[in-house]
A and B are shown apart, each in its own frame.
Chain A
Amino acid sequence: MDKLQLQGITKHYGRTLAVDDVSFACTRGEFFSILGASGAGKSTLLKSVAGIVQPDRGRVLIDGHDVTKRPIQDRNVAMAFENYSLYPQMKVYENIAFPLRAPTRPRRLSPTEERAKVTHVATILGIEPYLDRLPGQLSGGQRQRVSLARAMVREPNVFLLDEPLAHLDAKLKFQTRTRLKQLAVEIGATTLYVTHDFREALSLSDRILILRQGRIEQIGTPKEIYHAPATDFVAALVGDPPMNLIDGRVARAGDRLRFEVEDAPVPIVIDLPENAAIDRIGGEGTVRLGCRPGDLRIAPDDRGAIRLPIYAIEHSAEASLLSFSLGHDRIIQAQVPGRIDARAGEPVPIGFAADRLFLFRKSFELGEV
């Protein structure tokens, strides 16, 4: 049976529609992420499960029971927020132990049992040395992990995590992410996780829901989201460096399908594979072509390679990133392994891997950079 179900959740704030008819279900033990930009309605969904927000329409079911009208304390969900809301007068230990002492708990733990649980969670999250300190004596990142520990210590029905890594610096974020995942696997908890960071969503989740302006854009496993993005929106959101998106036209030339970019500095014509799913995007005409930077090749012997001057070249330790200008305000990028021996301004042949191209219907304007 599904552990958690949301059925047709809709919520307005005043006249603003925050969440529009969202339905999904999480199985027991699933790590399920909601990925989207700020204002997409992610937190509203999470808060409807917690009972902090009452949806206008729709139902929330936990273990098959409708909890939509139940108060927060009767849902046995645990929530950790981006802002940590710790009790400032209590030591870290007391803060983490607090949910274990709630009168609604079926059985009071012995002090030894309690200490064992608190210490275990604190150790995994790397805050064990601070158990005797007050929250005010900790850094923002440490407080955030205390808040996370408090949510995770009580082994609730469902974990609700709202950007729990947001305040951590890059290094700590990486470490804590791994530990969070270990903890969730170990406890076998059903987790609903809200984030705007695609890396967190890919690395942590069993499945991901992409939310766009209150609506579901796609639900899938990390592999599906990354390798088969349903829309240009998903494609732009997931991947680093971000996917190249090029607007142009698809036309038939004899028995071939070709993609042509209009008003480019040089003619850009890309042969598409016969099985290109152009029907899915409404047949021939204006389309948006997607190609990940890692799938562009700098290949002199490629048939149909396009020659463009290098607009800029950037090196990382293990790869080079080449940028090309396709005319006004359009930059595409190719990532190649190793350190490429080329200079800015030099024309190079660029090959598009036909089997790694995506075709989308254009659903938003690309921001000019």
Chain B
Amino acid sequence: MKSVSLHDVRKSYGGVDAVKGISFEVAKGEFMGILGPSGCGKSSTLRMIAGLEDITSGELRFDGVVVNELSPKDRGIGMGFENYALYQPLTVRENIAFPLEARGMPRAEMAPRVQKMAKLMEVEDVLDRKPYELSGGQQQRVSLARALVRDPSVLLLDEPLSHMDRHARVRLRARIRHIHDAIGATSIYVTHDQEEAVALCDRVAVMNFGDLQQIGSVEELWHRPRNRFVAGFLGQPAMNFIPSVTVDRHRLRFEVEGQPTIEVRQALPEPGRRVTFGIRPEHVRIGGEDASIPGRVVLVEMEGDVDVITIDVGGIELKTRTGTHWAMASGDQVRLAFPVESRHVFDGEDDAAPALA
């Protein structure tokens, strides 16, 4: 396994930039996610790393060596796709051995490697079966075994779980993480599913409109999003945003009925500036001593062990995500507290608005 680094890598199709000169490094043994909505450039980025797309400009390096001109085969990539594309006429054993056979490895050398991979993926007892005799999860594991059997430079995973049923998906996710740790892989995982990226990856690169929005650990992205887009993209339900105006250096006024003001730790720009206040549903507290923002319960939605409560605050709706111990009903008057360490402020009103520190 190797480290992977992108240096101002750009991809354009007919003059339009699908990927706008992005740079980041994935350390050897790291599990990196590339996350974003459809059309954000994440798949183009992955395909450039794999060598399936030409790089318009910039450099791609494996262990510091530029590989722009290397063919996919020579880059030594292991790919795990959403559709596992196993060879149906071949047995599981032959499928796993295929990449070794293609390189002309002698049989004696091949067998122990296939065996080792099959053991790791827990498919030893189905080695002589055909793919169609396996469950979806087993096929997926065979596909991973095939991707990893020749000790690739990097493991690339493109939405490998999106077609699995829920019960299997969460468990297979754990398997992928286990395998990554067990072989010390360098893994790059592309997904539009923020929950999946957050769960699996050491660090996540968030993309939008072909540009890197932020790269960081889940904690960084969650607690210190760089702009409004990143803040809103991670989390379900999404962060609550309240249009606001700055009052002085550490106070702003919500542009809602009643115009409550609130203090923030962030250093605010000049008074009278339009900003966005942000608070995650997980951090909105109902009641308690310091609860001062008045609101009215609009809707309580049960989601299992948590309730999502929609609360009208002066004409805009906020969501909270809480345990189910609250006996709340539509129409209830409540007071809300926003813990000071969980208050976010963005300098502006659109997705690009940067977070204030």
A residues within 8 Å of B by Cβ? 169-171, 174, 177-178, 181-182, 185, 199, 202-204, 222-223, 226, 236, 238-242, 292, 294, 311-318, 321, 323, 328-329, 331, 333, 339, 344-345, 366-369
Given A178-B301, A241-B170: 9 more A-B contacts, CB < 8 Å: A181-B299, A185-B299, A203-B302, A314-B200, A316-B199, A317-B282, A323-B174, A333-B174, A369-B167
B305 touches A312 (CB 8 A): no
B199 touches A315 (CB 8 A): yes
Residue from the list A222, A317, A368 in contact with B137, Cβ < 8 A: A368
Considering the complex, which residues of chain B in the window 149-202 have a beta carbon less than 8 Å from any beta carbon of chain A?
A: 164-168, 170-175, 177-178, 181, 193-195, 198-200
A317 touches B222 (CB 8 A): yes
Residue from the list A169, A294, A312 in contact with B177, Cβ < 8 A: A312
Chain A residues whose C-beta falls within 8 Å of the C-beta of B164 in the assembled complex: 369
B54-62, B71-79, B81-89, B229-237 - the one binding chain A: B229-237
A312 touches B166 (CB 8 A): no
Assuming the contacts A318-B282, A368-B137, asked whether A311 and B178 have C-beta atoms less than 8 A apart, the reply is yes
Chain B residues whose C-beta falls within 8 Å of the C-beta of A222 in the assembled complex: 302
Q: How far is the CB of A96 from chain B (nearest CB, A)?
A: 23
A239 touches B222 (CB 8 A): no
Q: For the complex, is B22 an interface residue (Cβ under 8 Å from A)?
A: no
A117, B107: Cα distance in complex, Å: 74
A-B pairs, top 4 by smallest CB distance, nearest first, are: A203-B301, A323-B174, A369-B137, A317-B222
A333 touches B167 (CB 8 A): no
Chain B residues whose C-beta falls within 8 Å of the C-beta of A226 in the assembled complex: 302, 304
Interface of A is mostly: mixed
A314 touches B304 (CB 8 A): no
A344 touches B181 (CB 8 A): yes
Chain A residues whose C-beta falls within 8 Å of the C-beta of B223 in the assembled complex: 317
A321 touches B199 (CB 8 A): yes
Q: How far is the CB of B141 from chain A (nearest CB, A)?
A: 8
B135 touches A367 (CB 8 A): yes
Assuming the contacts A294-B305, A367-B137, asked whether A316 and B218 have C-beta atoms less than 8 A apart, the reply is yes
Closest-by-CB residue of A relative to B199 is A314
Q: How far is the CB of A203 from chain B (nearest CB, A)?
A: 4
Chain B residues whose C-beta falls within 8 Å of the C-beta of A169 in the assembled complex: 37
Chain A residues whose C-beta falls within 8 Å of the C-beta of B135 in the assembled complex: 367-369
13 A-B interface contacts by CB (under 8 A): A174-B238, A178-B317, A182-B299, A185-B299, A199-B303, A239-B305, A242-B170, A311-B174, A312-B178, A317-B282, A321-B170, A367-B136, A367-B168
A328, B195: Cα distance in complex, Å: 27
A185 touches B122 (CB 8 A): no
Closest-by-CB residue of B relative to A199 is B303
Q: How far is the CB of B133 from chain A (nearest CB, A)?
A: 12
B interface size (C-beta, 8 A): 48
Chain B residues whose C-beta falls within 8 Å of the C-beta of A331 in the assembled complex: 171, 174-175
A174 touches B137 (CB 8 A): no
B172 touches A369 (CB 8 A): yes
Chain B residues whose C-beta falls within 8 Å of the C-beta of A239 in the assembled complex: 304-305
| Count of inter-chain pairs, beta carbons less than 8 A | 116
A366, B167: Cα distance in complex, Å: 9
Q: For the complex, is B330 an interface residue (Cβ under 8 Å from A)?
A: yes
A329 touches B302 (CB 8 A): no
A312 touches B174 (CB 8 A): yes
Q: How far is the CB of A337 from chain B (nearest CB, A)?
A: 10
Chain B residues whose C-beta falls within 8 Å of the C-beta of A312 in the assembled complex: 174-175, 177-178, 181
Closest-by-CB residue of A relative to B124 is A328
Q: For the complex, is B310 an interface residue (Cβ under 8 Å from A)?
A: yes
Chain B residues whose C-beta falls within 8 Å of the C-beta of A223 in the assembled complex: 302
B174 touches A314 (CB 8 A): yes
A329 touches B122 (CB 8 A): yes
Residue from the list A204, A311, A318, A339 in contact with B301, Cβ < 8 A: A204
Q: How far is the CB of A293 from chain B (nearest CB, A)?
A: 9
Considering the complex, which residues of chain B in the window 286-320 have a beta carbon less than 8 Å from any beta carbon of chain A?
A: 298-299, 301-305, 308, 310, 317
Closest-by-CB residue of A relative to B321 is A318
Interface readout for B192-226 with A: 1 if CB under 8 Å, 0 if not?
A: 01110011100000000000000000110011000
Chain A residues whose C-beta falls within 8 Å of the C-beta of B219 in the assembled complex: 317, 339
A285, B42: Cα distance in complex, Å: 51
A313 touches B177 (CB 8 A): yes
Closest-by-CB residue of A relative to B182 is A344
Q: For the complex, is B115 an interface residue (Cβ under 8 Å from A)?
A: no
Assuming the contacts A202-B302, A203-B308, A314-B173, asked whether A367 and B181 have C-beta atoms less than 8 A apart, the reply is no
Residue from the list A203, A242, A367, A368 in contact with B303, Cβ < 8 A: A203
A108, B173: Cα distance in complex, Å: 57
A170, B237: Cα distance in complex, Å: 9
Residue from the list A177, A204, A317 in contact with B198, Cβ < 8 A: A317
Q: For the complex, is B138 an interface residue (Cβ under 8 Å from A)?
A: yes
Chain A residues whose C-beta falls within 8 Å of the C-beta of B171 in the assembled complex: 323, 331, 333, 369
A242, B232: Cα distance in complex, Å: 26
Chain B residues whose C-beta falls within 8 Å of the C-beta of A368 in the assembled complex: 135, 137-138
Considering the complex, which residues of chain B in the window 228-287 have a beta carbon less than 8 Å from any beta carbon of chain A?
A: 232, 234-238, 282
Residue from the list B166, B199, B234 in contact with A242, Cβ < 8 A: B166
A344, B184: Cα distance in complex, Å: 12
Closest-by-CB residue of B relative to A169 is B37
Interface readout for B109-144 with A: 1 if CB under 8 Å, 0 if not?
A: 000000000000010000000000001111000000
A314 touches B305 (CB 8 A): no
Chain B residues whose C-beta falls within 8 Å of the C-beta of A174 in the assembled complex: 236-238
Most buried by A among B175, B193, B301, B308: B301
Chain A residues whose C-beta falls within 8 Å of the C-beta of B310 in the assembled complex: 178
Q: How far is the CB of A358 from chain B (nearest CB, A)?
A: 14
Q: How far is the CB of A247 from chain B (nearest CB, A)?
A: 14
A339, B223: Cα distance in complex, Å: 13
B168 touches A369 (CB 8 A): yes
Closest-by-CB residue of A relative to B234 is A317
B304 touches A238 (CB 8 A): yes
Closest-by-CB residue of A relative to B178 is A312
A240 touches B200 (CB 8 A): no
Q: How far is the CB of B145 from chain A (nearest CB, A)?
A: 14
